[in-house]
Amino acid sequence: MKVLDITKQKFGENAILYSLTNDNGLTMNVTNLGARIVDLIVPINGKERNIVLGFGTEEDYLTKDMYFGATIGRVAGRIKHGSFSIDDQYYQLPVSPENGHTLHGGLNSFEAKIWEVEVEEKNDQIAVHFSYVSPSGENGFPGELKARVTYSFTNNNEWIIDYQAETDQPTLFNPTNHVYFNLTGDMTQAVGEHRLFVASDQFAVVDSDTTVTGELRSVAETPFDFREPKSVNQVFETNYEQNTLVNGLDHPFMLNQTGFERPQAIITSPKQDLSVEMYTDRPAVVIFTAQFGQGGPDVRGQKLVNHGGITLETQIAPGAVEFEGFGDIILYPETTYQSRTIFKIK
């Protein structure tokens, strides 16, 4: 077994692109702009297939969509009205003028930062360590937060994401990765023919602005039941009210189990020649089906079709600062945050 290959090149004015290739010919490209995945290229029947949505330059991300493939933080998802309390101390974050909420930590959060990089090479994997110090008060959050995200790429065709963080004041922390998968490699094909498995008995109901209502609803007898692998079209081709509210999936699914013994979610390509398994220690996954309508960006020379990607955003469920039973995202100085998610290509 050889050491995996890694190269780097300029990706724009400030960003660097790191290219990691394993013994099986899979290539993962990542960048320090937003500690993000740019490409995941898999050889299938002698042809290369890029199975994640991404852009070719730093400028493309800055002008088209900053969330594609990025590390999201300090807090993934929506904080309703941008307000929360820690130990009876009230905080107000900047909110979006469109809906009055704070999304993904607010504007110019983790996804927009140039992260420090350290590369570590081992016999069976390459690790790219991204680090960023978020100053106290950034986007309204208390505490200086030292965040570290490690991407490991292995000869077992695994992309391992390890998150770590420390703070000097009580704050909120609930990161995720905003990777979009399209296992056909064709951005003009919607993901409706993909098959989806999710080990989840319950999902969080959302309102018309996609904030959670506090209700956890059984997936039984709904189009959101993926406890057995089913076509994603079962969501798109229904008038179920939770689908019609957001025109697809933009929902937290509460996972039945966590850990790394068996996958909590699996996406399979329409021809069943490729699948991605998700393993996580987080209690929930937000699944979003890229309902951009006709407003989707060009992706590698192709116009992104509506529902042209699907995310598996592992995290503590949005609503944790509001509702009992949704989890706890408060990070205290005496605690080090750690979590892991693995995507395995098969």
Amino acid letter, 310: I
Q: Rounded distance, CA 83 to CA 101, Å?
A: 9
Is 178 one of the annotated active-site residues of the chain? yes
Q: Which string of DSSP letters, residue by residue, matches 31-78?
A: ETBTTEEEEEEEEETTEEEE-B---SSHHHHHHT-S-TT-EE-SB-SE
State the DSSP code for 194: S
Q: Which string of DSSP letters, residue by residue, matches 268-317?
A: E-TTSS-EEEEEESSSEEEEE----GGGPPEETTEEPPTT--EE-EEESP
3 state SS of 61: helix
3 state SS of 274: coil
**Of residues 24, 21, 59, 52, the one with CA closest to residue 38:** 52
326's tokens? 């949704």
Q: Rounded distance, CA 9 to CA 331, Å?
A: 36
- The answer to whether residues 81 and 140 touch, using CB atoms and an 8 Å cutoff, is no
Identify the burial level of 241 via C-beta atoms within 10 angstroms of its C-beta, where 0-12 means exposed, 13-18 middle and 19 or more buried: exposed
Is 307 one of the annotated active-site residues of the chain? no
Amino acid letter, 330: I
Q: Could you tell me how many residues make up the chain?
A: 346
Given 178, 194, 251, 307, which residue is catalytic?
A: 178
Q: φ and ψ at 131, to 5 degrees? A: -135, 145
Residue that is written with structure tokens 């060009």 in the block: 298
Residue 202's Cα: distance from chain center in Å?
20
Residues known to be catalytic: 178, 313
